[in-house]
């Protein structure tokens, strides 16, 4: 019985990740700019002040970043302050085209799916 429950949870997790992948895929042709950057080995996107975990302005590999219409507006946010992740790493923010950002997120999700499928198959 426990094995069946575990298998159902695995399927539910994968279904949720595939749904997120499909949502990001729809955004691969997005126009505009996103503020994003790496802190340690994690890629963060700007979601707006108070909109992330515990009110953070950044969220790891998010499919819902703020998309700015102008590069100048995104640059103002990117240069607005210094952010750190939970491990204390400085998150170096930059302005990227929205399509480029979503391609990075898409590729990251695909890598995660491959890893999950490998782990789940064992």
State residue 111 phi and psi, 5-degree precision: -60, -40
Res. 122: pLDDT tops 90: no
| Tens digit of each residue's pLDDT (9 = 90 or more) over 21-69 | 999 999 999 999 999 999 998 999 999 988 888 888 999 988 899 999 9
Element (H or E) spanning 9, and its range? helix 2-25
Check: pTM over 0.95? Answer yes or no. Answer: no
What percent of the chain has a predicted confidence (pLDDT) above 70?
98
The answer to which of 19-23, 49-53, 91-95, 96-100 has the lowest mean pLDDT is 49-53
Model confidence band, residue 99 (pLDDT cutoffs 50, 70, 90): very high
HSE (CB half, 13 Å, CA atoms) of 29?
Answer: 1
- Domain chopping of the chain, boundaries: 2-120
Res. 1: pLDDT tops 70: no
d(CA 63, CA 120): 24
Residue 120: per-residue pLDDT? 79
């Amino acid at each position: 019985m426990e094995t069946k429950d575990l298998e159902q949870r695995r399927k539910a997790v994968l279904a949720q990740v595939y749904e997120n992948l499909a949502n990001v895929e729809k955004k691969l042709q997005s126009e505009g700019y996103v503020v994003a950057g790496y802190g340690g080995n994690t890629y963060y996107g700007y979601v707006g002040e108070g909109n992330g975990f515990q009110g953070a302005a950044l969220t790891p590999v998010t499919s819902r970043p703020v998309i700015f219409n102008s590069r100048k507006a995104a640059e103002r946010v990117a240069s607005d302050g210094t952010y750190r992740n939970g491990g204390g790493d400085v998150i170096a923010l930059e302005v990227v085209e929205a399509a480029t950002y979503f391609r990075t997120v898409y590729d990251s999700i695909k890598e995660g799916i491959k890893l999950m499928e490998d782990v789940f198959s064992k």
